[in-house]
Structure 1
Amino acid sequence: MAASIEEKKIQDELSAIIIWAERVRVAVDEAESFKADCQEVGKQVDRLLQMLRNVARFAGSSQSLYDRPIRRVISEVSRHIERALTLVRKCKRRSVLRRVVTIVTAADFRKLLNLLEASVGDMRWLLSIFDTENGGASGGIVLSLPPIASNDPILSWVWSYIAAIHMGQLSDRIEAANELASLAKDNDRNKKIIVEEGGVPPILRLLKETSSWEAQIAAAAALYNLANEQERVRVIVNELGVPIIVNVLSESLMKVQIQVASLVARMAEHDNVAQDDFARENVIRPLVTILSFETFVDDQRTNLGKPSIHSLVQINKELEKNTMVGSKSSRPYMHLYSEGSSSRSGQNRKERENEKPEVKIKLKIACAEALWMLARGSVPNSRRITETKGLLCLAKLVEKEQGELQSNCLMTIMEITAAAERNADLRRAAFKTNSPAAKAVVDQLLRVIKDLDPTLQIPAIKSIGSLARTFPARETRVLGPLVDQLSNKNPEVATEAAIALQKFSSPENFLCMEHSKAIIEFNGVPPLMKLLRGNDGTQFHGLVLLCYLALHAGNSEALEQARVLTTLEGADRTVVSQHPELKDLVSKAISHLNLYHPGVHSQRLAYGPL
């Protein structure tokens, strides 16, 4: 209905211009002066009149009309025809006084004829992109330059490509989508033009072209290149692109899924509305499904003591139950450990099994990145990932894989644990002490922390820190690796270790005293003292941790032997001057240490009451 209304508006505009053009013909016949010039104007208007009627016939018969170039061109044509009518009417017989007041010159006609010639060129180009027999949208892509776009050739190319996607044959639509993807990749101005000229809706329709994986890849690539900014992502969302994208991800071939999963990641990265909409459309389940493909099969075959067949069956049963309850669609997604999709499972299973290993890895990398972006800053999405047994899958991939896939999985875990730190319900549900998935995650995080790669160590350390309130007092094994990293030569890693340990020893942690004593027992004080000699950020976080240890384990001999009291007094005069927010914490730590070491430096009693 909306389309017919738009076409009716176009028809109305064309009808109005045609009426003006016919009036010009009448005025030409009535002209008494500059007859030759008026006749030349009449010839140009006749050409325009014929072309306008052709466009009107096409607009009335087209099922899928791309009206952006039509509106721009006929707007220019309308102005020029109105100008022609005004000038030609001045050449009609009038009184001497009127002729003196209204002066017409040959220059006026030359300028008008140039404008009408430009309009003829614009109309000729407009008809060429809609011509079904001699090229155009249904017979090839037209890349000639109309006068209206002489100062901006990109505009005419974008019009031609979008028209081809609207109305062309499949091969032309694929070519046009690839060209738009290339233009969008060049710069943001091209992206803006494509979106403003209505390129998103036809590209989304092409993405639904399930008969051609080439078409789907071309469309997904074009959308991916457009979606690097919130406003443009929001256009895709508002055009109802999210359900289309999720459906394609769930049912397409692997080579298509790679591009679509990357699109999900980019849209979720740049727009929180897209992030929420993807979650509502249940995109997390197919992403986890793809990630889990072949992830657990090797464990069964090699019999390395990993999850038993019984446990996998139980996980499958739980997932099936969650799918039936949580899915918005009556079409269920495939099970987490199955190898095919719902509607074309046989075909997709065979395709997956026969696909090259590098393609499978690329797909998993893209899916892991999508989960990372979906989980980032989102408690509900992080909860959804844990409910699909995504944690166990991520832990397995961190254990077995390397490179970008391992890194993306770690970043996803980091975001999930950060969400759990903010939300007690998620923390209790997903990271229970007896949870196999939580245990697997922690085991892999501790293994990675001992690695030598800072890009992997940092998210792993952050993740353990975020889970600080989930560990019981007896779970001291997580503290040792963190304490060891206080001595890391990379200051960023050492600082992150100090921040993570703060979360164990912070007063907000119910077990802060037990954890503080354990940190000291792991010989954490000497490397922490060295950390205070680092840069400003390192000093700050090292000082906070040292104060927590002093407050919660002040009677420790290790603190006395390391002369922590002297260090804190010095910090009270230096570091605190740069960070006034630490003044109260440092003063409390000094006072608390004086309680346990009153005879060491009696002059220190001035810092606080005994």
Structure 2
Amino acid sequence: MALEEKRFEDELTYAILLSERVFSAVHEAESFKLECAEVGKHVERISQMLRTVVRFTTTTPSLYERPISRIVAEVSKNLERALTLVRKCKRQSILRRVVTITSATDFRKLFNLLDSSVGDMKWLLSILDSDGVSGGGGGIVLSLPPIASNDPIISWVWSSIASLQMGQLPDRIEATNDLASLAKDNDRNKKIIVEEGGVPPLLKLLKESSSMEAQIAAATALYHLANDEERVRSIVDEVGVPIIVQVLGDSSMKVQTQAARLVARMAEHDHVAQEDFARENVIRPLVTLLSFETFVDDPKLEPGKQSIHSIVQINKEMEKNSSAPGSSNSNINFNRNHLFKNSLSNSYSYSYSDGSSRGGNHRKERENEKPEVKLQLKISCAEALWMLAKGSVPNSRRITETKGLLCLAKLVEKEEGELHFNCLMTITEITAAAESNADLRRAAFKTNSPAAKAVVDQLLRVIEKLDSPTLQIPAIKSIGSLARTFPARETRVIGPLVTQLGNRDLNVATEAAISLGKFACPDNFLHTSHSKTIIEYNGLPRLFALLRGGEQSQLHGLVLLCYLALHGGNSNALEQAKVLTVLEGADRTVLVQHPELKELVAKAVYHLNLYHTGGHSQRISFVP
């Protein structure tokens, strides 16, 4: 920083020294005296304005330097041209004058350049002190400096950032809204705002302002900038993540909504931001805000009465009882709901009793907010959790460790619209992470876990009761991701998936085939039991109908059919359904495009021939 300041001061010093040299050269000129005198007048105006800028640099606490550096550098170039031309007018030998010919045209060109420098300097002074007060910038200047004549956006960005960095609060809010509007227009504007130093003052306004309007404006502007990995990384590099997390934890509900949207956008576009947010523990306040007022309708709920230790003990006892023979399901469900509501309430109390002087006030504000404001905050928090969990095993684990699964399950049960979808997508990402990580799968989705059961119950409800492919597909995908967690006796999850094989929406039916394939594939330890269950639930006829669809449905349908043929045992249903005939008549185009499928089909045909020797005349030789 000190080096940058020194470089900046050197630029100004060099420009002033150049202007003094031009004055000296003007006094020494022997030819084109009138033109040289005019050059001197221009340079004198420029020199005075340069000295005014120097005074600003020493008296303004948070000076915006980008336009100063660019304009002073351009002014220096023009002063160098002036010095070179005026020096040619000094007394010289005849030979030297012949070699260096100076004309009136040269001076006309120079006057145009110096006029541009005067215009640039006047504009620069206007944005540094548009109110005429030497303490800093005022409102936004809409005039166009000559240096930006070919690209007006740069001057608008400079003016807005200068007002944002040096102006009074109303001017800073107005400038921030203007930057947000520019950023919303196109990606080029976003790039210019970031390159010209717009991110640091936006973060400063978000962090330090006591104005809700200012914080919302700053978060909105940053949100519009953060749709690209490089720009998100620029926010991260300016230590933006801790600031955003702090604002999320201790602000009014409307500000928290915008902060949560910003978390979601940054996590979506940059894995580094996704990891940094997790390290700053953003997941806990997001889950807490998401669960706000979700369970207060329980008259038995007494917030703050139970300790974390007692909750853990009750949870252990409940899991022990749920696994005991003859335990009552109704009692287990009651205990589960009661524990869930109390634990979330305590989590909420803990989150906002950390010594913050503003926490209590904001909590009262939340309780009195309009329902639509509360809903929008939950939508934003659910989206943020979705993007944080996406492709991240550690973040998915953190969500499950904060009772996030229970909260998500409850919201999927009682909400609808965008909040319902965001919660469902978060569950889909968490289950996908569990599918790829055995430790997470065992920790979060144990069969006797209340959270796991609540999630599965709601996923099955979505699959069976909601006629919406947009919701059914992620729910089916989630069940498939959990395929290795279900015991052989847990047949209730297979029935709905088999039913969806016959869904009129081909995408839903294909997703059901993919999920059932995870139950019946060799990687699943219980593939034999699951395959027999799929056949018993009359899955073959629906699967044959799926094979008449497009390439993707045929591909996944054939994979599932092969698994059923290989693992379904000596089932009469396979022979009666003529599975062998179907496999032998599989679309050759699909098989050619997918060699691994061709091998799987051949293996299944061989297996069927081995079990049903009299069932078909054709034989395909295959050595497994």
Instruction: State the TM-score, normalizing by the size of structure 2.
Output: 0.92
Give, in whole Å, the separation in 1 of the partners of 2:293 and 2:355. Answer: 15
Give, in whole Å, the separation in 2 of the partners of 1:431 and 1:609. Answer: 39
Q: Secondary structure at the match of 2:570?
A: coil
* 1:391-416: CA deviation from partner (whole Å, max 9, x where unpaired): 00000000000000000000000000
Percent identity between the two aligned chains: 71
Shift in Å, 1:310:
5.2
**Structure 1 residue 426 and structure 2 residue 440: aligned?**
yes
Q: Secondary structure at the match of 1:208?
A: helix
Q: Secondary structure at the match of 1:571?
A: coil
**Structure 1 residue 347 and structure 2 residue 345: aligned?**
no
Q: Does the CA contact (< 8 Å) of 1:32 and 1:91 recur in 2?
A: yes
* 1:139-168: CA deviation from partner (whole Å, max 9, x where unpaired): 322121111111111111100110111111
| Distance verdict in 2 for CA 1:589–1:360, change over 3 Å | same
* 1:183-208: CA deviation from partner (whole Å, max 9, x where unpaired): 00000110011011011011110111
Q: Does the CA contact (< 8 Å) of 1:164 and 1:172 recur in 2?
A: yes
Amino acid across the alignment from 2:68: I
Q: 1:24 aligns with which of 19, 22, 25?
A: 22
Give, in whole Å, the separation in 2 of the partners of 1:199 and 1:573. Answer: 58
Question: 1:493-512 counterparts in 2 under 5 A?
Answer: 493-512=508-527
Shift in Å, 1:5:
3.9
Q: Secondary structure at the match of 1:607?
A: coil
Q: Does the CA contact (< 8 Å) of 1:251 and 1:343 recur in 2?
A: no
| Distance verdict in 2 for CA 1:340–1:403, change over 3 Å | farther
Q: Which residue number corresponds to residue 228 of structure 2?
A: 229
Q: Which residue number corresponds to residue 369 of structure 1?
A: 383
Give, in whole Å, the separation in 2 of the partners of 1:370 and 1:495. Answer: 29
Shift in Å, 1:344:
2.0
| Distance verdict in 2 for CA 1:316–1:188, change over 3 Å | closer
Q: Which residue number corresponds to residue 396 of structure 2?
A: 382
Q: Does the CA contact (< 8 Å) of 1:228 and 1:266 recur in 2?
A: yes
Give, in whole Å, the separation in 1 of the partners of 2:592 and 2:183. Answer: 51
Question: 1:246-261 counterparts in 2 under 5 A?
Answer: 246-261=245-260
Question: 1:172-211 counterparts in 2 under 5 A?
Answer: 172-211=171-210
Q: Secondary structure at the match of 1:205?
A: helix
Q: Which residue number corresponds to residue 461 of structure 1?
A: 476
| Distance verdict in 2 for CA 1:571–1:607, change over 3 Å | farther
Q: Does the CA contact (< 8 Å) of 1:258 and 1:362 recur in 2?
A: yes
Amino acid across the alignment from 2:184: K
**Higher mean displacement: 462-471 or 584-593:** 584-593
Give, in whole Å, the separation in 1 of the partners of 2:59 and 2:363. Answer: 44
| Distance verdict in 2 for CA 1:195–1:570, change over 3 Å | same
Q: Which residue number corresponds to residue 328 of structure 1?
A: none
Q: Does the CA contact (< 8 Å) of 2:393 and 2:434 recur in 1?
A: yes
Give, in whole Å, the separation in 2 of the partners of 1:189 and 1:316. Answer: 44
Give, in whole Å, the separation in 1 of the partners of 2:559 and 2:180. Answer: 50
Q: Which residue number corresponds to residue 406 of structure 1?
A: 420
Shift in Å, 1:299:
4.2
Q: Which residue number corresponds to residue 239 of structure 1?
A: 238
Question: 1:87-126 counterparts in 2 under 5 A?
Answer: 87-126=85-124
Gaps of 5+ in 2: 303-329
RMSD of Structure 2 on Structure 1 (CA): 2.1
Amino acid across the alignment from 2:376: K
Amino acid across the alignment from 1:168: G
Q: Which residue number corresponds to residue 309 of structure 2?
A: none
* 1:77-114: CA deviation from partner (whole Å, max 9, x where unpaired): 10111111111111111111111111111111111011
Shift in Å, 1:570:
1.3
| Distance verdict in 2 for CA 1:381–1:49, change over 3 Å | same
Give, in whole Å, the separation in 1 of the partners of 2:432 and 2:577. Answer: 34
Q: Does the CA contact (< 8 Å) of 2:138 and 2:166 recur in 1?
A: no
Q: 2:74 aligns with which of 59, 73, 76?
A: 76
Gaps of 5+ in 1: 321-332
Give, in whole Å, the separation in 2 of the partners of 1:209 and 1:609. Answer: 72
**Higher mean displacement: 529-538 or 435-444:** 529-538
Amino acid across the alignment from 1:130: L
Q: 1:559 aligns with which of 558, 574, 599?
A: 574
Amino acid across the alignment from 2:380: A
Q: 1:470 aligns with which of 485, 495, 499?
A: 485
Amino acid across the alignment from 2:470: T
* 1:213-262: CA deviation from partner (whole Å, max 9, x where unpaired): 11100100110000011000000001110000000011011111111111
Q: Does the CA contact (< 8 Å) of 1:339 and 1:352 recur in 2?
A: no
Q: Does the CA contact (< 8 Å) of 1:454 and 1:493 recur in 2?
A: yes
Q: Which residue number corresponds to residue 446 of structure 1?
A: 460
Give, in whole Å, the separation in 1 of the partners of 2:232 and 2:541. Answer: 51
Q: Which residue number corresponds to residue 325 of structure 1?
A: none
Give, in whole Å, the separation in 1 of the partners of 2:6 and 2:549. Answer: 72
Give, in whole Å, the separation in 2 of the partners of 1:568 and 1:13. Answer: 79
**Structure 1 residue 311 and structure 2 residue 310: aligned?**
no
Count of residue pairs the alignment pairs up: 593
Q: Which residue number corresponds to residue 131 of structure 1?
A: 129
Instruction: State the TM-score, normalizing by the size of structure 1.
Output: 0.94
Question: 1:505-584 counterparts in 2 under 5 A?
Answer: 505-571=520-586, 573=588, 575-584=590-599
| Distance verdict in 2 for CA 1:464–1:45, change over 3 Å | same
Give, in whole Å, the separation in 2 of the partners of 1:113 and 1:368. Answer: 61
Shift in Å, 1:135:
7.3
| Distance verdict in 2 for CA 1:112–1:588, change over 3 Å | same
Q: Which residue number corresponds to residue 154 of structure 1?
A: 153
* 1:120-155: CA deviation from partner (whole Å, max 9, x where unpaired): 110011111111642795332212111111111111
Q: Does the CA contact (< 8 Å) of 2:472 and 2:508 recur in 1?
A: yes
| Distance verdict in 2 for CA 1:410–1:313, change over 3 Å | closer
Shift in Å, 1:363:
0.7
Give, in whole Å, the separation in 1 of the partners of 2:228 and 2:210. Answer: 30
**Higher mean displacement: 21-30 or 421-430:** 21-30
Shift in Å, 1:335:
3.3
Give, in whole Å, the separation in 1 of the partners of 2:24 and 2:620. Answer: 105
Shift in Å, 1:292:
0.4
